[in-house]
């Protein structure tokens, strides 16, 4: 996991872009960006980042969700992992940097990590800033007080609770 840094939300794309440029210069070619739903991952990666060697290729993993996701399906069963892996590897062969973004991105890309040297990989967890305490980033406050309806959202919440417990 990348070392933590805190920025105002209005500055996050610029700061993240500078971090990506530095990491890319150090040989990083694959960044896994994850965080809770509505944390700002898609906003952060909606446009490619300009790098000295070209532009990043940003892949939103939710595009690989099967069309018929119902509330009784776990997130990992709802996503077409094979298609996501194939797309990531295709882009990795040609792009200077690939960013894979999703609410549970790390488990989705796990097989890719066997193909890419570990020194070329960075894992980023995006926490959203607290509206009540602008100097804190306590993602846990955004988890539902009670379990949301459906296995799909419950599986996402379980994953993020575990991630927060690990620190």
Kindly state whether residue 2 falls inside one of the protein's structural domains: no
| pLDDT score recorded for residue 151 | 85
SS3 percent helix, strand, coil of the chain, rounded to 5, is 45, 15, 40
Cα separation values, 14 from 99, 115, 164, Å: 16, 30, 25
Q: What is the rounded average pLDDT of the residues 4-14?
A: 78
Would strands 30-34 and 50-51 be described as parallel, antiparallel, or unpaired?
Answer: unpaired
Q: What is the rounded average pLDDT of the residues 106-120?
A: 95
| Mean pLDDT over the full length of the chain | 84
Q: What is the rounded average pLDDT of the residues 125-138?
A: 57
Total tally of structural domains belonging to the chain:
1
Do residues 142 and 36 lie in contact, with contact meaning Cβ atoms separated by under 8 Å? yes
pLDDT tens column, 43-80 = 888 899 999 889 999 999 999 998 767 678 899 999 99
Kindly state whether residue 4 falls inside one of the protein's structural domains: no
Kindly state whether residue 16 falls inside one of the protein's structural domains: yes
Kindly state whether residue 3 falls inside one of the protein's structural domains: no
pLDDT tens column, 138-159 = 445 555 445 566 888 888 888 8
Full domain range(s) for residue 14: 9-166
Do residues 59 and 109 lie in contact, with contact meaning Cβ atoms separated by under 8 Å? no
Q: What is the rounded average pLDDT of the residues 23-52?
A: 90
CATH number, residue 102: 3.40.50
**Would you say residue 108 has pLDDT above 90?**
yes
Kindly state whether residue 29 falls inside one of the protein's structural domains: yes
**Would you say residue 25 has pLDDT above 90?**
yes
Kindly state whether residue 84 falls inside one of the protein's structural domains: yes
Closest CA to 163 of 31, 42, 35, 74: 35
Kindly state whether residue 110 falls inside one of the protein's structural domains: yes
Q: What is the pTM assigned to this prediction?
A: 0.85
Which of the pair, 101 or 53, is modelled with greater confidence?
Answer: 101
Kindly state whether residue 102 falls inside one of the protein's structural domains: yes
Which of the pair, 53 or 107, is modelled with greater confidence?
Answer: 107
Q: What is the rounded average pLDDT of the residues 22-29?
A: 95
| pLDDT score recorded for residue 28 | 97
């Amino acid at each position: 996991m990348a070392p933590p840094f805190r920025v105002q939300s209005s500055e996050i794309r610029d700061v993240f872009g500078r971090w990506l440029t530095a990491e890319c210069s150090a040989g990083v070619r694959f960044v896994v960006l994850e965080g809770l739903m509505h944390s700002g991952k898609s906003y952060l990666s909606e446009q490619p980042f300009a790098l000295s060697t070209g532009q990043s290729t940003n892949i939103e993993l939710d595009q690989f969700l099967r069309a018929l996701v119902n509330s009784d399906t776990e997130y990992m069963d709802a996503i077409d992992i094979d298609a996501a892996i194939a797309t990531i590897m295709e882009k990795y062969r040609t792009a200077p940097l690939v960013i894979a973004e999703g609410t549970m991105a790390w488990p989705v890309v796990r097989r890719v990590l066997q193909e890419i040297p570990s020194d070329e990989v960075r894992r980023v967890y995006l926490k959203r800033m607290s509206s009540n305490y602008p100097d804190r980033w306590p993602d846990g406050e955004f988890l539902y007080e009670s379990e949301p309806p459906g296995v799909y959202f419950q599986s996402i919440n379980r994953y993020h609770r575990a991630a927060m417990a690990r620190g």
